Amino acid sequence: MRYLGIALLLVGCGAAAEPSDPPDQGSDPEDAQVLDAGAGADGGLDGALDLGAPDLGSVDAQPDVGPIPDGGAEADATIADATAADASGPDAQAGDVSPADNGAPEILSPGWIGGPCSGDGDCPFTGGHCLTDAAGWPNGTCTQSCTQFCPDQAGPLNPVTFCIDDGGNDGTGTCLSRCDDTLSPTGCRVGYVCLPEKRQGQGSVVRYACVPESGVPGRAVPAFDIGAACSSASDCNRSSCITDLPGGYCTQERCDVIGCPSGSTCFRFGLEGYSACLRDCTTDNECRQADGYACDTDQTCWYLPPPPPSCDLSNGANDCAAWAAQASSDFVVVTKSKRRMVLCDGVNLVQTYCVGLGSSPVEDKEREGDRRTPEGVFYIPRKIAQSQYYKAFLISYPDSQDAARGLAAGLITQAEHNAIVAAQNARTEPPQQTALGGLIEIHGNGSGADWTWGCMATEDANIDVLWPVLQVGDTVVILH
């Protein structure tokens, strides 16, 4: 088992939105309608990945390839039935992964860019022509050539479009549908998969588009760069950069569907179903050792973080005395800088525990994917008896102050702000899937490292002591 001091950037790390395309040439909105699923995209969960948890199981053509690299699904709070088996648990191997067309519609964008066709006559728009099934486009795809932008067309089944670099080296690209999870569970229609693509004529812009599962027909196979350094998706040959790892990590997404190039192995991370290729290795010198990567027990290059600061268990009684007047009769105080958690019965100290924090532990949490443990006065809205991490207490992050900050920064809508405030006033569970992040818990599986996406982890035996004492509504104070 590896303990990581930094976590994979899963779906939704609050990537900065780029300006929309000129409206007269085709829009490229950065809104909730469009599924930007994958590293550097919008819409994920902070609690979905606590890398460093027990190995779970790989996703590859062969179920027995090896364990997932420290991937775990911390997103227990998203499970409607807390007693249900975790879909990304120890038995989650290749056969458990839903195919790309699971629940996908046969038809999207009828008679328009991205819609099915058998010939050019099925694409009755200016410049419209059919990329046929025989040419490698399942059930055909209507398109038109583009130099940088594509037009959009209103309609209940029409996603926005994107001009991809089709590898033709002729100065023109191909217009395709962008992924849209409001129209399809997969973001695409049957036979197509949602993958990051570079814009024709503007390779620095990467968007998720619907392409055949076998890749864009006729385009050269990208050179191998899995595990290479990157600062953005456009730096990678497969347009996927795990930016939260030191120096970045070029990868290929959706490898559970399209596979990995030779020299890399596919792994799935968390409940979201995100999968990515990791570079194979046999020795550490095949990895970027200067950036902290080593050849791990799965024989893939992965980041080995430095050890966390030691746990300081002294003076915990002062925390109880300082907060008893504002807290429930039983409460806990976490002091991040000391990696310490104390259980209090009023002003009386009951017990002191060590904790591990988010893999970016110093600052207060601001947004989804920043890997920070939040600071403030919270309460427990729910207890999760069947957590992936033994047992868990959900924390009431985000709170009203977080909502005000997020609204002012444009991270959340007024409606989301109001829902968070209403939940805090009622002391119920606040919305957990906004751009502020959520699913922050106190859970088990050990305090030996800062390995979570923002949760506080301690030993299972400590959770057993806390479990009958702390109840829904009890106070959790988290200090710097």
In a domain, 357, yes or no: yes
DSSP 389-440: TEEEEE---S-HHHHHHHHHTTSS-HHHHHHHHHHHHHTSPPPSSSTT----
Domain C-terminal end among 255, 283, 304? 304
The C-alpha atoms of residue 380 and residue 368 are separated, in whole angstroms, by 20
Domain C-terminal end among 182, 211, 240? 211
pLDDT tens figures, 155-167: 999 999 999 999 9
User: Is pLDDT at 130 greater than 70 in this prediction?
Assistant: yes
Residues 371 and 465 in one domain: yes
According to the model, what pLDDT value does residue 291 have?
A: 87
Across 100-104, 281-285, 331-335, 415-419, least confident range: 100-104
Retrieve residue 263's tokens.
């020299």
DSSP 25-53: T-----STTS---STT-SS--GGG--TTS
User: Is pLDDT at 92 greater than 50 in this prediction?
Assistant: no
Residues 327 and 455 in one domain: yes
Residue in 349, 345, 380 with CA at minimum distance from that of residue 478: 380
Residues 143 and 237 in one domain: no
Residue 351's pLDDT band (boundaries 50, 70, 90)? very high
Across 38-42, 250-254, 336-340, least confident range: 38-42
The SS3 assignment for 212 reads: strand
Whether 245 and 303 have beta carbons less than 8 Å apart is answered as: yes
Residues 56 and 195 in one domain: no
Residues 227 and 79 in one domain: yes
Q: Residue 444 is part of a domain; what is its CATH number?
A: 2.40.440.10
Residues 83 and 16 in one domain: yes
List b or e across 66-90, with b for residues whose CB sees 16 or more CB atoms inside 10 angstroms.
bbbbbbbbbbbbbbeeeeeebbbee
In a domain, 420, yes or no: no
According to the model, what pLDDT value does residue 339 have?
A: 96
Whether 178 and 207 have beta carbons less than 8 Å apart is answered as: yes
Q: How many structural domains comprise the chain?
A: 3
In a domain, 154, yes or no: yes
DSSP β-ladder status, 475-479 and 376-379? antiparallel
Residues 293 and 360 in one domain: no
Residues 89 and 131 in one domain: no
In a domain, 419, yes or no: no
Residues 217 and 205 in one domain: no
The C-alpha atoms of residue 258 and residue 252 are separated, in whole angstroms, by 9
Residue in 275, 293, 398, 364 with CA at minimum distance from that of residue 10: 275
Phi, psi of 331 (to 5 degrees): -160, 170
Domain C-terminal end among 254, 269, 304? 304
Q: What is the CA radius of gyration of the chain?
A: 24
In a domain, 299, yes or no: yes
- Looking at residue 122, what DSSP letter applies? G
In a domain, 172, yes or no: yes
User: Is pLDDT at 432 greater than 90 in this prediction?
Assistant: yes
Q: Print the domain residue range for 7.
A: 1-97+213-304
pLDDT tens figures, 180-229: 989 999 999 999 999 999 999 999 999 999 999 989 999 999 999 999 99
Residues 52 and 195 in one domain: no
Sign of CA dihedral 441, 442, 444, 448: positive
Residues 186 and 105 in one domain: yes
According to the model, what pLDDT value does residue 163 have?
A: 98
User: Is pLDDT at 455 greater than 80 in this prediction?
Assistant: yes
User: Is pLDDT at 101 greater than 90 in this prediction?
Assistant: no
Phi, psi of 393 (to 5 degrees): -105, 115
Residues 322 and 263 in one domain: no
- Looking at residue 320, what DSSP letter applies? H
According to the model, what pLDDT value does residue 50 have?
A: 38
In a domain, 411, yes or no: no
In a domain, 425, yes or no: no
According to the model, what pLDDT value does residue 368 have?
A: 86
pLDDT tens figures, 287-318: 999 888 999 999 999 988 777 678 999 999 99
pTM summary value: 0.55
